[in-house]
Amino acid sequence: DKGDFEHFMLKEIHEQPELIRSLTQFYFHGEGLESLKKAGSFKPSKFHMTACGTAYYAGLLIRDFLETYNKIPCAPELASEFRYRNPLLIEGESGLFISQSGETADTLAAQELCTESKLKTLSIVNVDGSTLFRNCDNNLLIRAGIEIGVASTKAFTQQVLTGRLLSLALSDELSEESKRVKLTSKFSLLAEKIDHLISRSKEIKDIAESVYNHKGFFYTGRGIYYPVALEGALKLKEIAYVHAEGYAAGELKHGPIAMIDEDMVNVALVGPELFEKTVSNIQEIKARKGVILTIGPKDHEELEELSDYYFGIDFDGLEELSPIYINIVNQLLAYYIAKYKGTDIDKPRNLAKSVTVE
């Protein structure tokens, strides 16, 4: 049931704040705590993270958490590549699989390969009792509820957060109640700010109205904003059928900048990390007459002046979770561009909700 919403995708975008609150409650103060602690008690020498599509991009952020906070090497790879590559898998390492459905054929094959090589396997998955869930040694449920929109939205957010919870568990930060209470308020702040952000949808809709007819979009970001650039471009491609690419901001000058002209939009994702470097990349695109749509820190005059369109966000207190925030703006941007294009948003052409064949 879509309730008051025109599409399931929009409904699912709106569910995110509440899902974040209930995920935190479940893992910090509810029955999930034991399973989270159990997942954190096995510290592998390395993670092999495999997934497909949106789940893979969530996994890229999880890779950053595991390497930054746990100092455990994490090799991300698309499941469809990993399964046919003879990857080097050594006992003591662990396979980590991210999936909404738990039924994606390539991800299941990657899991089997890890099990055959005697690796312990862990999933971050939405569907309880799915094939992936049953085949893994251990699972962390993302508790996103049923996702009906073919374009994944809330699952991405819950996957990233569950990955962050895993990294907290691996560094034993969940043993004390007082720490868990502190973390709960951090996650509630995220939920609260997302509520506020969603209430500003009209601003995003207006930007979409101005840019939807442009011929192409480059989403750019650095560091933790790079996976979000990839995911933002994927969302736009799949529901609006517009050509879009996600690019590491520093890579543009190695080729694709040749494509920039006044009909190309650069969706520049600028969070608190690597700020100055990203700004200089925007200047390079501006010099080639690209249209600049920046999602960046609020009240930043220099950046606003440089941009044709600006959506400012208050990132205070949320540094490592700021990609989630930017990603929700991207979800709404893709949604409204698709709406102006008049596409079938919940059931985009050529796509199935879960890819159970190769």
The span from the CA of 110 to the CA of 101, in Å, is 15
Nearer to ligand F6R, 281 or 330 (CB): 330
Instruction: Please enumerate in sequence order all residues whose Cβ is within 8 A of that of 37, keeping only pairs 6 or more positions apart, or say none.
Output: 169, 174, 175
Nearer to ligand F6R, 108 or 174 (CB): 108
- Name the one range near ligand F6R by CB under 6 A: 41-49, 52-60, 112-120, 189-197: 52-60
Candidates 111, 152, 167, 327: give the one binding ligand F6R (CB under 6 A): 152
Contact between 165 and 140 under an 8 Å Cβ cutoff? The reply is yes
Nearest residue (beta carbon) to ligand F6R: 53
Nearer to ligand F6R, 56 or 315 (CB): 56
Residue type, 63: R
| Three-state secondary structure call for residue 304 | helix
Contact between 137 and 122 under an 8 Å Cβ cutoff? The reply is yes
Tell whether residue 158 is a contact of ligand F6R (CB under 6 A).
Answer: no
Q: Is 301 exposed, middle or buried (0-12, 13-18, 19+ CB in 10 A)?
A: exposed
From the list 138, 130, 73, the residue with the least C-alpha distance to 99 is 130
Nearer to ligand F6R, 151 or 313 (CB): 151
Tell whether residue 52 is a contact of ligand F6R (CB under 6 A).
Answer: yes
- Write out the binding residues for ligand F6R, residues 86-125 only, by CB under 6 A: 99-101, 104, 107
- Write out the binding residues for ligand F6R, residues 189-248 only, by CB under 6 A: 234, 238
Q: How far is the CB of 78 from ligand F6R (least distance, A)?
A: 10
The span from the CA of 235 to the CA of 253, in Å, is 24
Tell whether residue 54 is a contact of ligand F6R (CB under 6 A).
Answer: yes
Q: How far is the CB of 56 from ligand F6R (least distance, A)?
A: 7
Compute how many residues bind ligand F6R; rule: CB under 6 A. 15
Q: Is 244 exposed, middle or buried (0-12, 13-18, 19+ CB in 10 A)?
A: buried
The site for ligand F6R (CB under 6 A) is made up of 52-55, 99-101, 104, 107, 151-152, 234, 238, 354-355
